[in-house]
Structure 1
Amino acid sequence: MCAQLLSHIQLFATLWTVAHQAPLSMEFSKQEYWSGLPFPPPGDLPDPGIELESPAFPALQADSLLLSHLGSPIQPKHIGPDVFSSKNLALQAQKKILSKIASKTVANMLIDDTSSEIFDELYKVTKEHIHNKKEAHKIMKDLIKVAIKIGILYRNNQFSPEEVVIVEKFRKKLNQTAMTIVSFYEVEYTFDRNVLSKLLHECKDLVHELVQRHLTPRTHGRINHVFNHFADVEFLSTLYSLDGDCRPNLKKICEGINKLIDEKVL
């Protein structure tokens, strides 16, 4: 469940990252990956019984993680200011987040190639729609940060049994959303922006419910920032326009989703 969970939330945005490779139990081995991100098993992390809001374990702040022993960040490769790379952005976010955590181990947080390609296309269509490269970059950065934080919560068994039920609801909802995205592309004249927008807002509500007691208002704001953008009906209309500039990007996005489905990671 954990691995499948991350795939979904990353895709939508986060979206399909959270549901990406989720195992069906709360047990994790040292070799398991969470949406392409190798994390230490629960035994290497702080006591999962620690309350996130307690004085000993303060709430997760906007640019820090709640867990220790996650490892030193690896260095992202330098790229030019006009080049967007979701992998590089993830490494930069990792560096910033993990720089506040003391650790002796190394956690290589990498986005898998297929999800990275989907992210890159989402950035391009976002930039095309809002005509603001800086804001498009921020949306994708918020997506990656939220995905990482939720993944850490899950890996450290911070979710209660009731919240694990929400995880499963979210996974199913994101899977439904992903299938709808592909269907609206492959079958002409079936696209309904209101239907897709509603699905994405339902995903957003489930994410808020899942992390309500764990993350700060600032991170909840990031969740809104990501989902509200991708669920915007005008953005969806631009993305699905039959004669618009985003059609090639949508094709690649749907090809990526289909690949994840074929590989049984979505």
Structure 2
Amino acid sequence: MGSEDATSSFFQHEGTYEGTAGQVFSSATLVQRAQKKVLSKVASRGVVKHFVSDAATRLFDNLCTLLKCYYNKSVAEKVVKNIVKLVVKLSVVARGEHFAVEQQSQLAIVQRQVHHLCLTVLSFGKVAYSYDRNYLLTILDETHKKLLPLVTCCLSEKSRRRLDMIFEHLSKEQLLDSFFRVDGEHSALLSQVVSDLETLVDSNDL
């Protein structure tokens, strides 16, 4: 079996997992569940067990809080769940050394793009009145397009739909405008996001 077939076969039959009704949303718990589910398929291949840092889980929680200000609770949590699932699954494949040379090259492109996106958000969050909606929307669109080939070749069709859903919901103009508004209602949340992003960038954990 070729490398591409091997990687995609890990995830072609994806199940779902939902929290108990009324359970408080926790990205850390979600990450643990995603890791357990994915690792059950690749444990024999010697894949490492930890893929998402504490700063990243805090970032996911803060993102969920922000999304709940714009979407209903169910939609907000689904967006973050989909992000976690994709992050964990791509990390499993990457760290398990199942990427072909072409996929490794694509992964490097994606990592640079995500790093660029994070630096842009950091800049907009730290420098008052620097927010440029059209520029951020362009970067989000570019990130989506660069992730798409990697997800399509290595994961499942369901994962590709999750990717589309994530960027559809993150790219709403009103959501972005409200988040970066100077002295707006999300100022405290923005400060937390900036702090977590700085930790991720400084530790090369992107």
- Do these two structures clear the TM 0.5 threshold for a shared fold by scoring above it? yes
Secondary structure of 2:5's match?
A: coil
Aligned pair count reads 204
Kindly indicate whether residue 126 of structure 2 is the aligned counterpart of residue 174 of structure 1.
no
Kindly indicate whether residue 101 of structure 2 is the aligned counterpart of residue 161 of structure 1.
yes
Q: Which one has the bigger helix percentage?
A: 2
What does residue 8 of structure 1 align with? none
What does residue 162 of structure 2 align with? 222
Unaligned runs of 5+ in 1: 1-46, 65-77
User: What whole-Å deviation, never above 9, does each CA across 1:30-61 have from its counterpart, x for those lacking one?
Assistant: xxxxxxxxxxxxxxxxx87472389xx47623
The one-letter code sitting in structure 2 at the alignment partner of 1:61 is: H
Give the CA deviation at 1:99.
5.6
Cα–Cα, structure 1 residues 257 and 84, in superposed 2: closer, same or farther, change >3 Å?
same
Cα–Cα, structure 1 residues 127 and 62, in superposed 2: closer, same or farther, change >3 Å?
same
Kindly indicate whether residue 15 of structure 2 is the aligned counterpart of residue 63 of structure 1.
yes
Separation in 1 of the partners of 2:159 and 2:68?
A: 23
The one-letter code sitting in structure 1 at the alignment partner of 2:132 is: D
CA contact (8 A) 1:198 1:231 kept: no
Give the CA deviation at 1:225.
1.1
Cα–Cα, structure 1 residues 104 and 203, in superposed 2: closer, same or farther, change >3 Å?
closer
- 1:140-151 aligned within 5 A: 140-151=80-91
CA contact (8 A) 2:10 2:41 kept: no
Give the CA deviation at 1:242.
2.2
User: What whole-Å deviation, never above 9, does each CA across 1:141-170 have from its counterpart, x for those lacking one?
Assistant: 111111111112212333221221111111
TM-score when normalising by structure 1:
0.67
Cα–Cα, structure 1 residues 255 and 211, in superposed 2: closer, same or farther, change >3 Å?
same
Kindly indicate whether residue 156 of structure 2 is the aligned counterpart of residue 204 of structure 1.
no
CA contact (8 A) 2:45 2:96 kept: no
CA contact (8 A) 1:52 1:60 kept: no
Over the matched positions of the two proteins, sequence identity in percent amounts to 27
Larger RCO (alpha carbons 8 Å, 6+ apart):
2
Worse overlay, 236-245 or 250-259: 236-245
User: What whole-Å deviation, never above 9, does each CA across 1:156-190 have from its counterpart, x for those lacking one?
Assistant: 33322122111111111111111110111211111
Separation in 1 of the partners of 2:69 and 2:129?
A: 23
User: What whole-Å deviation, never above 9, does each CA across 1:52-89 have from its counterpart, x for those lacking one?
Assistant: 389xx47623338xxxxxxxxxxxxx999352211011
Secondary structure of 2:70's match?
A: helix
CA contact (8 A) 1:60 1:214 kept: no
What does residue 88 of structure 1 align with? 29
Unaligned runs of 5+ in 2: none
CA contact (8 A) 1:90 1:109 kept: no
Kindly indicate whether residue 83 of structure 2 is the aligned counterpart of residue 129 of structure 1.
no
Cα–Cα, structure 1 residues 103 and 53, in superposed 2: closer, same or farther, change >3 Å?
closer
Q: CA RMSD in A?
A: 3.0
Give the CA deviation at 1:261.
2.6
